[in-house]
Structure 1
């Protein structure tokens, strides 16, 4: 049986390890709040110009309502990553500078799917930045051919 001092030292070590372990949430410029099984709020708290949203190409669209100062500014549909991030898409925040921006995200979760939205990979990969790199860094992306800045497209 552990003595009180050893138990206190063990508890302190656990707390220290938990503090040093990176959390599975987005960076400090984004706050994630899970409201239910398929409804999540993403609060943009950073000062950057671009919100990078993680996408998984093989997933159903999530409905993203962009709330600016509490009013629905626009609605878009994004394939937010569930198990892996294929690439990130930029969302321009410059029109909303000085305003409170919240994304109300509704994901497609059905009774057949036992996952909850809070377990999805996208929440750890939202970030706010000042630039969106468009350099050609992917192994199989051609240097010269009509290619999009991110993701892919089918040739006509």
Structure 2
């Protein structure tokens, strides 16, 4: 007595299992994170779960191959068709992930540029304020210590001013 199931029964079981795995895959595919602001890390996590979804389907390949040898090609044909669709979908998801990574890199570059520009502007403004303060401080010392405002030599005039040489150089005297 032979209690082994007939190839037709095995094919029906394989096709039913394939349909169940296909529904499981489609449910997983519907959870792919998309939309504005979805980080590439979430997409990468989803892609890391991809092999676990495909592995049970791939496990049907030897049995489908055996059925094909027995003259029942439907299981292998459907398996190959579905795996081809799944791997095409995976390629699309990988492309979406790569695009998001590129987008995030571009945004990071823009932010780095903005931070560098702001830092440069702040440093320039700070330097300008320091120069203005140093000039003011020097002027105050010149005024308080009766010195020339150009060469900073003592001139003995209360409130400071300009020595004869500096005034001549400016064209104020001959």
TM interval, shorter chain, is under 0.3
Larger RCO of the pair (alpha carbons < 8 Å, separation 6+): 1
Q: TM-score, normalised by structure 2?
A: 0.20
| Greater helix share, structure number | 2
Structure having the higher Rg: 2
Q: TM-score, normalised by structure 1?
A: 0.22
